[in-house]
Structure 1
Amino acid sequence: MRTAILASNAAITEHVKWNAPSFCYGGTDRVTFRLHPEARLQLIFHRGATTRDDTAGFVFDDPSGLMKWLAPDRAVVDLPSLDAVADHQQQVVLLVNRWVVA
């Protein structure tokens, strides 16, 4: 998944934040792996490291239905198995690319 996300967009960079791989766009953390719980892959979609006050007008359409909203501008994609990762990799990469510019 990491390789596919990085290969999909030259403007997306990666570093380690919160002890996990985190993808940045324009120098801002936007999508971060959640490494616990183990035995599953979770990606947290966020708009930076801190809570933002300007969430009132933020809208993001998820045609995949994979995102579970934790807050108006924060969501998680939960992939509970390697099969789920393989089955949804293309959808997740598309979500990441749309999210980083939203």
Structure 2
Amino acid sequence: MAEASNMIAASPEVDRYLDGLPTDLAGTLARLRDGIRGVAPAGAVENIKWNGPNYALDGVDRVTVGTDPRGKVRIVMHRGVKIVDSEGFSFEDDTGLVRWAAADRGVIALDPAEIDAHRDEIVVLIERWLRL
């Protein structure tokens, strides 16, 4: 994974979002955030969208993180808001963590402890996703 000096800029919006969460959940999301910021390509932007941290490239939302009503951490890997032709598109998930809502929209939903346990695998998946 990338060194801290290679991380994309932190968003004050995301800082405030994390400050508003319970300590344990904020810690899990902060660790995940650091991993994502460390592997995101130059030019990626961190912001808040859909009530959670979001990572965009060239103005296209690619990864959105949040929590669901059951207390799970939800990571959505997508190719933007608009429908994109997914014919011929594929992405290999060798971890089995991703549930595919569409051919090009994957969701990981795990308890915070599971997110921590699988953090490195998740960050590698996100790094590959952001480089598509």
Range class of TM-score, shorter chain? 0.7 to 0.9
Q: Percent identity, aligned pairs only?
A: 35
- Tell me, yes or no, if the aligned pair for 1:22 and 1:29 is still in contact at 8 Å: yes
Q: Secondary structure at the match of 2:118?
A: helix
Deviations 1:55-98 (A, max 9, x none): 01100000111100001110101112x32111110011001110
State the AA in 2 paired with 1:56.
E
Q: Report whether the alignment pairs 1:44 with 2:108.
A: no
Cα separation, partners in 2 of 1:78 and 1:87, compared to 1, 3 Å: same
TM-score, with length taken from structure 1: 0.87
Deviations 1:8-64 (A, max 9, x none): 235232111122110112332101013222421010110011111x20110000011
- Larger C-alpha radius of gyration, 1 or 2? 2
More helix by share: 2
State the AA in 2 paired with 1:86.
D
Alpha-carbon distance in 1 for matches of 2:53, 2:70:
15
Alpha-carbon distance in 2 for matches of 1:44, 1:28:
14
Aligned-residue Cα RMSD (Å) equals 1.5
Tell me which residue corresponds to 2:65.
Answer: 33
Tell me which residue corresponds to 1:79.
Answer: 110
Query: What is the total number of aligned residue pairs between the two structures?
Result: 100
Q: Which moved more, 1:31-40 or 1:16-25?
A: 31-40
The 5-angstrom pairing of residues 1-102 of structure 1 reads 1-11=32-42, 12-52=44-84, 54-80=85-111, 82-102=112-132
- Tell me, yes or no, if the aligned pair for 2:41 and 2:131 is still in contact at 8 Å: no
TM-score, with length taken from structure 2: 0.69
Alpha-carbon distance in 2 for matches of 1:35, 1:45:
14
Q: Give every structure 1 segment of 4 or more consecutive aligned residues whose post-TM-superposition deviation is greater than 6 Å.
A: none
Alpha-carbon distance in 2 for matches of 1:68, 1:25:
23
Alpha-carbon distance in 2 for matches of 1:10, 1:46:
16
Q: Which moved more, 1:83-92 or 1:17-26?
A: 17-26
Structure 2 unaligned blocks of 5 or more: 1-31
